[in-house]
Amino acid sequence: MRHSDVREEGASAQADGDIPAGGAGAPGTVPPPRGGSRSAGRAGARPAGRGRRRALRWISSVLSLLILGTAAAGYLYYRHLNGSIQTDALNLGENKLGGSKPNAFGQTPLNILLIGSDARDDAENQALGGATDTFDGPPLADVQMLLHLSADRTNMSVISMPRDTMLMMPKCTEPGGKVHPASKGLVQTNESIQRGGPGCTVAAWTELTKIPIDHFMMIDFKGVVRMADAIGGVPVCVEQNVHSRTRDGKGSGLKLPKGTSVIQGETALQWLRTRYGFEDGTDIGRTHAQHQYMNSMAREFRKNAKLSNPVKLNSLAQAAIEAMVVDTGLNKIDKLFDLSMELKKVPPGRITMTTMPWIYSSKPGLDGRVEPKPGEAEDLFRMVREDISLDGQGSGSPSASASPAATGAPASPSAPAQQPSTAPTAAPPAKIAVLVRNSTGSKDGAQSRVNGRASEVAALLTGKGFTKVVADRQTAAEDTSVIRYATDAQAADAAAVATALGLPAGSVQKSDQVAGIVVFVGNDWRTGGSPAAPPPAPTKAPDSAHALNGDNDQACMPIQPGFTW
């Protein structure tokens, strides 16, 4: 048993984040690494009890979207909530990818980062969360899920990142000017929000995945209990009788018989925060249980009419919106409504819930923590970048139903959906100014720079007619070669440079960190006159992602030995 599962022997129930059955509260935490507290390696961290609400935030993230997605009849009832929407900056990092790009048919995918904050910054959150020693302290992003809506709106993919994942944190600059320098070592991913807010969590995901993130929604747990009851019950399944209670009193208190039960209210909250009793007793097992619950809940919303009452709907929508913080691109009710309508187009059978493939860290002091699994985590990220469905079923035919309205993408109402959009024309190569920067050193420092690569690649471009090319004396480190440009007017020219060099279209990125078109010759192109062709993209999520299909009503949680009755 690993992943911080045995390190809290003798700890109090409050420290573990679990409470006796029937008590108020929210989901529990993953135990700290063996041989030390969960906070090992970071100063000023809060006790483990702070994480026990994260499942509530996880649920309210998607639930808020689902509620809004059923709101056509009650739209006018919550227009007045515009003034209640809280906003924050989308991306505080330096790596801004410019948003999702339309496909050949003018359809634009959509990437939304759902963040669950454990902030206890008001009386309601404090009453729900307890743990008085953490009141008004810095929050943690204990739940992080990337929701990808395909360009043609035929499928949706969700990637959860374990909150114990260790990452290099990017430099983040708050709107007021305060700078949080890039980390010099690995930092636990849930600390990203402490570096300026949700915009730094977005920046960390962008840095790791190279996926353009269009929006974020950050949720706390206010109003979750009321919304859980309003659903009217969610079917869940366990393979054996389960009772989440240890001999020393820890555990959620969940007690269910073998098979399927319809749960709501306090029992639903117990399910969502149960660690002891599911799978191997780790946070990973709890994530899988949450995926089962969320898929089941989505099916319930679609097949019953419990939320057709506009008064009830208005109350639920208000509770959800007042608990959310969104980026400034979602600062109006009509924008949230448009977004919900886009999400609603995907049937449950084309929703795939996954967990980022991970491995236990072997680095000193990080026992029980995890890192992205080499190869397979990148495969999952690449599928999202290239808009490949995780369920292996591919996409449907291009359809006008993939409206660009919710993303701000340019629409072409006069052209059939099947026709490619007209792209701007690039200038002649001799008129395109290009800077080439040697970035062949790997970001982790394992490989040093190859001397002279900027001049070599500059010469390649010159030979192809790009006469305004300069080899930059400044260097950088990029694992993958990339071309960045500063303004929309330079986009077509940057794409022409990529074509001349044999780089994929996905390597072209808009950035506010460059003044013109800059070619970063990365670690993947250390020699030769052309970059190595990437391997074929995967067509299905790796098994290590533990994919769960939204139509799978037969999913059943394995029970940890010793927690049956």
Give pLDDT tens digits for 309-363.
Answer: 566 566 666 666 776 889 999 988 888 878 878 888 888 899 999 999 999 999 9
Task: Give me the percent of the chain exceeding a pLDDT of 90.
Answer: 44
d(CA 344, CA 175): 33
Residue 44 corresponds to which tokens in the numbers above?
């000023």
Q: Is the pLDDT of residue 151 over 90?
A: yes
d(CA 464, CA 461): 5
Give the model's pLDDT for residue 401: 47
Give the model's pLDDT for residue 164: 86
- Identity of the residue numbered 98: G
d(CA 101, CA 95): 16
Nearest Cα to 358, choosing from 290, 291, 287, 284?
Answer: 284
d(CA 512, CA 342): 29
Give the model's pLDDT for residue 27: 35
Q: What residues have CB less than 8 Å from 95, skipping those under 6 apart?
A: 170, 203, 206, 207, 511, 513
Torsion sign across C-alpha atoms 361, 363, 366, 367: positive
Residue 85 · residue 326 · CB < 8 Å: yes
To the nearest 10 degrees (0 to 180), the angle between helices 224-231 and 283-303 is 50
**pLDDT digits 0-9 by tens, 386-440:** 999 999 998 754 444 444 444 443 333 323 333 334 557 899 999 999 999 999 9
Give the model's pLDDT for residue 325: 87
Give the model's pLDDT for residue 355: 94
d(CA 54, CA 184): 28
Nearest Cα to 531, choosing from 543, 520, 542, 541?
Answer: 520
Specify the range with the lowest mean pLDDT, choosing from 161-175, 414-428, 434-448: 414-428
CB atoms within 10 A of CB 308: 11
Mean pLDDT throughout 213-234?
A: 72
Length in residues, the chain: 565
What's the pTM? 0.73
Residue 525 corresponds to which tokens in the numbers above?
């192109």
Q: Is the pLDDT of residue 289 over 50?
A: yes
Domain boundaries defined on the chain: 13-19+49-388, 429-521
Higher pLDDT, 505 or 497: 497
Specify the range with the lowest mean pLDDT, choosing from 58-72, 426-440, 459-473: 58-72
Token pair 């059939």 is at which residue?
416
Give the model's pLDDT for residue 317: 66
Q: How far is CA 432 from CA 473, 479, 495, in A?
A: 20, 25, 11
Residue 138 · residue 413 · CB < 8 Å: no
Q: Is the pLDDT of residue 307 over 90?
A: no
Task: Give residue 89's pLDDT band: very low, low, confident or very high (50, 70, 90).
Answer: very high
**pLDDT digits 0-9 by tens, 19-55:** 333 333 333 333 333 333 333 334 444 444 444 455 5
Task: Give me the percent of the chain exceeding a pLDDT of 70.
Answer: 71
Give the model's pLDDT for residue 421: 43
Task: Give residue 215's pLDDT band: very low, low, confident or very high (50, 70, 90).
Answer: very high
Task: Give residue 75's pLDDT band: very low, low, confident or very high (50, 70, 90).
Answer: low
13-19+49-388, which class in CATH?
A: alpha beta
Q: Is the pLDDT of residue 304 over 80?
A: no
Task: Give residue 365's pLDDT band: very low, low, confident or very high (50, 70, 90).
Answer: very high
N-terminal to C-terminal alpha carbon distance within the chain:
21
Give the model's pLDDT for residue 6: 33
Give the model's pLDDT for residue 17: 37
Characterize 19-51 residue by residue with b for buried, 16 or more Cβ atoms within 10 angstroms of its Cβ, and e for exposed.
bebeeebbbbbbbbbeeebbbbbeeebbbbbbb
